[in-house]
Structure 1
Amino acid sequence: MVAQDIPLVGGGRPLALARWLLVVAMMVFAMVVIGGITRLTESGLSITEWKPVTGAIPPLTLEQWQAEFESYQQIGEYQQVAGPAGMTLGDYQFIYFWEWAHRLLGRLIGLAFALPLLVFWMRGMIPAGYKPRLLALLALGGLQGAFGWLMVRSGLNTEMTDVSHFWLSIHLLTALFTLAGLIWTARDLRALPRGIGPARVTSLGLLVALMLFVQLLLGAWVAGLNAGLASDTWPLMQGRLVPEADWSRGALWAFTSDPYWLHFLHRWWAFAVLAVLVVLARRLRPLDRRASVAIHSAVGVQILLGIATVMTGVDLWIAVAHQAVGALLVTSTAWGIHAVGQRR
């Protein structure tokens, strides 16, 4: 029997809100995928200014394109990498498109969240206790945009040829945390008409979330430092299990900035995450079999794609698929942790 979206006692249309949040979650997922393409095609620094309104319109004339290209030519990425490689205006237009599309989708997500939220609020459709959570999700979206610009700005000088991998990780992890929050809130709202209260985070759920967070952080640093290119073999690196890393700058630098060591940590921490996700999935089987299957499927495909990304020398579309399935893994894990912690 399909649940009807009838108003709750005291007001609220939880199923309508849940459907809206799931649509926004799909848009955030697309944002993560396009962000991966932007990163892998070295497109992130192609637009050197942040224009929240007028920036939604790309250059329309040859003169406007030349002006944008000249601005790009002032930064280190062009002077040290793209320029010596012989970048043409057509090449620049290709990377400009991906960064523009990434920013445009960010604007559309903001509108898709803020405008319906205002309508739901004014019509009294938000159930009691959910307004602060929805405002927090709106604030996360705003922070995501700010972190994105701070990330881009970190690479806009003549010395840098890329953005800071620290800012890249903050930008990506904020998006994934927002995605998990949208899924969690939507599932709370879907359960509300059946008299089921908000889910809690269990000790198992917290352990899984923390271990997955570490893996996502390592993955973001690997992407930001192009550390996926540190090895094209698996399971060995440089013909050995543990690669040679630069420890001369101290352990802190090695654990946060050495490409070989981060690549090594990312590829093997994945199996620790696999173990706890299997435990979570098995716990889910009698509670929500679909969530269990989703977690098993996502983590299995993700590990295979990670290995394929390494062995193909970071092939563009395999690496994009790796990031996309990573976002699906976050989604299925949030679903699973929610199901385990639901107050029945």
Structure 2
Amino acid sequence: MLAAALLTVATYAAAVELRGDHPDSYVVKRGDTLWDISARFLKKPWLWPEIWQANPQIKNPHLIYPGDVVSLAYLDRVAVQPGARSESPVNAVPLAEIEPFLKDMRIVSDISNLPYVVGLEDGHMRGISGQVVYVRGLEGVAPGQRYLVVRAEKRYRMVERAGMCCDLFQTQDLDARGRAGLDDGTLWSNAVFPSKNTEFLGYELVTQATGTVTRGEVAGIQASTLLLGAEGRDVRAGDRLLPVEAKPYDLQFFPHPPRQQADYGRLTVMSVADHDKFGGTRDVIAISGGAREGIDNGTVFSLWKRGDSVTDKVKDGLDANEDLTLSEHKVRLPDEFAGHAMVFRTFDNVSYALVMSSIKPVRIGDELKHPDAPY
């Protein structure tokens, strides 16, 4: 049986634009994603739900199969001609495609009550695969229990600036005890005195290894023994423990625009995983918003370098080596587009996103906007 599903793009012309170099037709192949297919036809592939869902004949807009033919039936119409459909449907963005680039990070509100590594086998400074480490805080835990060994690496804080351009976001690196030193973090935000408008966003924990309890606290011993698994990074005293999660990530992600638009200056890049300040395509970024801002997995943002504020030396008649520091004498320049990122893990106050594409470096302090934002 041959059934053509015609989707009217003209209705969405203001938001959905066809690529100038789109093919007349495309046969869906195994390994394709809806993002890939949509990117062949649309300038904005994250708008694929508006295309597929525009046709009421498609009961499940996510189900496109290998062998289906996607084609332009007319200048303003897209048709999906079903194939044999003997294989599983293609995914939106499957976990397997992006998992190599993801970092197993999470946000918690408190680390003071988590079990922690107090010592290592043979007095080593670092523990690796196959070695044992000793843990406090696992009283009563039976052998065989598995745990993640995580490291508290950063602490995030927001300072609300009512009536000003942008909120301030502080990222502080933590020491082996999970504490911030006096010289850590960003100076301008460290200097802000706590007030009712200062909010702690959370601690960032990075997974180092997995381990299995082999012996609990018995016979007067005050620490449990944890055997480190076959894979992972080094473990040191001060690392914390969390129960192993059965499903830390979604199996696939359905890209979509944010469900609500945050005020300018509220959503920014707070850190770039494994980098000091800059990143690019397939790097992971931490952003200053989460579930309470309506962000969920699959949310797509555009990334923008905030425009500089410069002195108009021509109008003000200044020499080349002169400058003014008062904000009223500054000219704000336009924001500069850097790329797009998709959220893959969401917590209450912080989310993690993968940079899907970039035309210039993504940096700490970049603004996150609707993916269709023109400026």
Q: TM-score range by the shorter chain?
A: under 0.3
Which has more strand, going by share of residues? 2
User: Which TM-score applies when normalising by structure 1?
Assistant: 0.25
Greater helix content? 1
Q: Which has the higher contact order (CA 8 A, sep 6+)?
A: 1
